[in-house]
Structure 1
Amino acid sequence: MIRYPNLQAGAAIGITAPSSGVQPELHGLVKQACARLEAKGYRLVVGETVWTQHKAKSAPADVRAAELNAMLQDERLSLIFPPWGGELLIEVVDRIDYEAIKPKWILGYSDTSALLLAVTLMTGLATAHGANLIDVRGEVADETTGMWETVLGTRAGESVRQPSSPMYQQAWDHDNPTPCVFHLTEPTRWKTVGGGSVHMSGRLLGGCVDIIRHLVGTPYGDVKRFREERMNEEPVIWYLENCELSMADMRRSLVQMKLAGWFDHCGGLLFGRSEANRPTEGYMAEDLYRELAEELGVPVLYDVDCGHVPPQLTFVNGARAEIEAHEGKAVVTQFFEA
């Protein structure tokens, strides 16, 4: 059984940094994002870890875990919204009191995806893979990123539809900021192995492969138990993205997931756009996607709106999804079903 939080107008949002905090010279970005949320009527509780960063982490693991646990257990908060990802969230995964978590959304991506997946697998509480706090600091939101509020405001028993983005960002240009933060200049085209139209149906799970691979073989990555206890053995649609893995390392990581049983009862794979998908001795991302499609016998979509090349859809871990892709365009419909 999956439980779905609900984000309502005027809700309280907790901002904490379970991975990386924000260096002093970038504090203005956090303040700008907070101001945008407050202008929308949200009430903010900002933790101390947000403002510090030392040796690849916002604070020692026990400090990060204490602040995170306090917010997870606070019934007044409807959303936990980290400033961004980072490197070492894995250090706090075993320090979370999962049984004490009160229903609330957790939203983010990159290193945060370890927290998202662990919470959903351990508790059956839906979590949201999408924008980081820093991403919502713009004067306006692009239509894809801006859907995070609509998705998180969807009630249990309802559904929400997200189309693929019209345009995506090929490169950052920090010297020339845009009103919506991102520079969306390139036409989006979701691609399929073998071409043609694709339909997928199943429960969503996923995240950044660099990060979630480290949950394999731990109590916090027990996908088999989750399927049996929470999903009635429904198919899983995996949405995955690559931050900085070589194609050989990406292949090794995905084979490990397969050998661990993560791709058993798989209904399809979605791979986000990635700047890291550089060939290894001629071994290309497209080769990897084709091999997985053949090995698993499932449809594979790639260059989807997910991960480090913005914008990105908001994918809800645990939600049932129907995905239709045709001629480069796609629609993701998520059903908040128990």
Structure 2
Amino acid sequence: MIRYPVFQQCKKVAVTAPSSGVEPELHHLITKGTARMEERGFRVIVGDTTWTQVKAKSTPAPIRAAELQKFLQDEEIGLIMPPWGGFLLIEILPYLSFENISPKWILGYSDTSVLLLVLTLKTGIATAQGTNFVDVRGEVMDETTARFLDVLQTRRGEEVTQIASPFFQTEWQFDNPTPHIFHLTKQTEWKTISGAPFDCTGRLLGGCIDVIRHLIGTPFGDVAYFQQHFIDGEPILWHFENCDLKTDDLRRTLVQMRLAGWFDHCVGIAFGRSPANDPVEGYEIEDVYKDLSDELGVPVAYDLDWGHQPPQLTLVNGARARLVVEGGTGKLTQSFV
């Protein structure tokens, strides 16, 4: 059975850096984020790892793991939000204890999705892919991002629906922030590789494919165990986002996942928008998606609202979800059962 954390505003929000921390010249992003969240009624505690970044990581792996473990065990904390992703979160996994963790939400994306997926696979505790802490520092939040609060406050037995964003951001302009941080200038269009409507129901799992692929074949990536012990064999609806991979590398990764059994009992696959997906010798991203759909015999949707081109829906690993894509738009309904 999936265990769903419950987040209340009386609980603290903890910021910690299990992957990359924040360089001194960017510390203002954390102080602004803290101020905005406190204006919204939350209490924020910022861990020491957040303030440092040396050699592609915030601190050595044992220190990062110890701070995260402390926050996981703290009953006063209801939500853990890394400042952003990074590169080397996978290093901390051997230092974490997954027993007797008090269920609480962890929210983020990119490299953070390694932690999210592992925690759900090993413990059955639901985790949330969505906005990073630095991206809630605006005067307001766009309507898509702001829904993370509704999702995290959903209780067992309830459901929550999110719809496609009206516009998305094509590139980051860090030196020119808007009141809601992002530059949402291009009209959103959700797509399916077949052109037919996508309507799938399954248990959500996924993350940033660049990094979660490295869990394959390790004790931290046992998808079959998760299916048997926590969801009673229900089908999986996979969600992926691609940060940096070209089409050939993405294709190799998806084949490896298939060969490793990750797509056994899969009902559908949905990909977020990506600034990558560069073609190789004419092999386009749509070719990758079609090959995957044909091999697995399941529908594939793409250019949805998650990944490195905001805004983002909040996706709950472990939740039973119905995803509908039709006519360039769609909706995601997640049931906490």
Q: Normalising TM by the smaller chain, what interval?
A: over 0.9
* Residue equivalent to 1:265: 265
* Residue equivalent to 2:278: 278
Unaligned runs of 5+ in 2: none
Q: For residues 196 and 246 of structure 1, what CA distance do their matches in structure 2 show?
A: 26
* Residue equivalent to 1:176: 176
* Residue equivalent to 1:308: 308
Would you say the 8 A contact 2:194–2:299 is kept in 1?
A: no
* Residue equivalent to 1:8: 8
Q: For residues 316 and 252 of structure 2, what CA distance do their matches in structure 1 show?
A: 26
Would you say the 8 A contact 2:131–2:312 is kept in 1?
A: yes
Measure how far apart 1:323 and its partner are: 1.1
Which shows bigger deviation, 147-156 or 9-18?
9-18
Figure out how many residues of one structure are paired with residues of the other and give that number: 337
Measure how far apart 1:196 and its partner are: 2.1
3-state SS of 1:332 partner: strand
Per-residue CA deviations over 1:40-62 (Å, capped at 9, x if unaligned) read 11111211000000000000011
TM-score, scaled relative to structure 2: 0.99
Would you say the 8 A contact 2:246–2:276 is kept in 1?
A: yes
* Residue equivalent to 1:84: 84
* Residue equivalent to 1:109: 109
3-state SS of 2:316 partner: strand
Per-residue CA deviations over 1:30-87 (Å, capped at 9, x if unaligned) read 1000111111111112110000000000000111011011011111110111000000
Measure how far apart 1:174 and its partner are: 2.6
Q: For residues 176 and 102 of structure 1, what CA distance do their matches in structure 2 show?
A: 40
Measure how far apart 1:100 and its partner are: 2.9
Measure how far apart 1:109 and its partner are: 0.3
Measure how far apart 1:93 and its partner are: 1.1
Measure how far apart 1:176 and its partner are: 2.3
* Residue equivalent to 1:188: 188
3-state SS of 1:45 partner: strand
The percent of aligned pairs where both chains have the same amino acid is 59
3-state SS of 2:205 partner: strand
3-state SS of 1:232 partner: coil
Q: For residues 79 and 199 of structure 2, what CA distance do their matches in structure 1 show?
A: 32
Counting only pairs closer than 5 Å after superposition, residues 108-147 of structure 1 correspond to structure 2 as: 108-147=108-147
Q: Output the aligned Cα RMSD.
A: 0.7
* Residue equivalent to 2:255: 255
* Residue equivalent to 2:54: 54
3-state SS of 1:83 partner: coil
Counting only pairs closer than 5 Å after superposition, residues 58-77 of structure 1 correspond to structure 2 as: 58-77=58-77
Q: For residues 14 and 173 of structure 2, what CA distance do their matches in structure 1 show?
A: 30
Q: For residues 284 and 6 of structure 2, what CA distance do their matches in structure 1 show?
A: 41
Per-residue CA deviations over 1:186-218 (Å, capped at 9, x if unaligned) read 010000011021101000000000010011111
Q: For residues 222 and 262 of structure 1, what CA distance do their matches in structure 2 show?
A: 8
TM-score, scaled relative to structure 1: 0.99
3-state SS of 1:155 partner: coil
* Residue equivalent to 1:33: 33
Counting only pairs closer than 5 Å after superposition, residues 130-169 of structure 1 correspond to structure 2 as: 130-169=130-169
Counting only pairs closer than 5 Å after superposition, residues 178-257 of structure 1 correspond to structure 2 as: 178-257=178-257
3-state SS of 2:302 partner: strand
3-state SS of 2:220 partner: helix
Amino acid at match of 2:112: T
Amino acid at match of 2:304: V
The runs of at least 4 consecutive aligned structure 1 residues that moved more than 3 Å come to: none
Amino acid at match of 2:212: I
Q: For residues 281 and 101 of structure 1, what CA distance do their matches in structure 2 show?
A: 48
Amino acid at match of 1:326: E
Amino acid at match of 2:115: L
Q: For residues 143 and 293 of structure 2, what CA distance do their matches in structure 1 show?
A: 31
Amino acid at match of 1:105: W
Measure how far apart 1:9 and its partner are: 2.1
Per-residue CA deviations over 1:202-261 (Å, capped at 9, x if unaligned) read 000000000100111111100001101111111100000100011111111111111110
Q: For residues 172 and 82 of structure 2, what CA distance do their matches in structure 1 show?
A: 21
Amino acid at match of 1:110: S
Per-residue CA deviations over 1:97-142 (Å, capped at 9, x if unaligned) read 1003111000000000000000000000000000000110111101
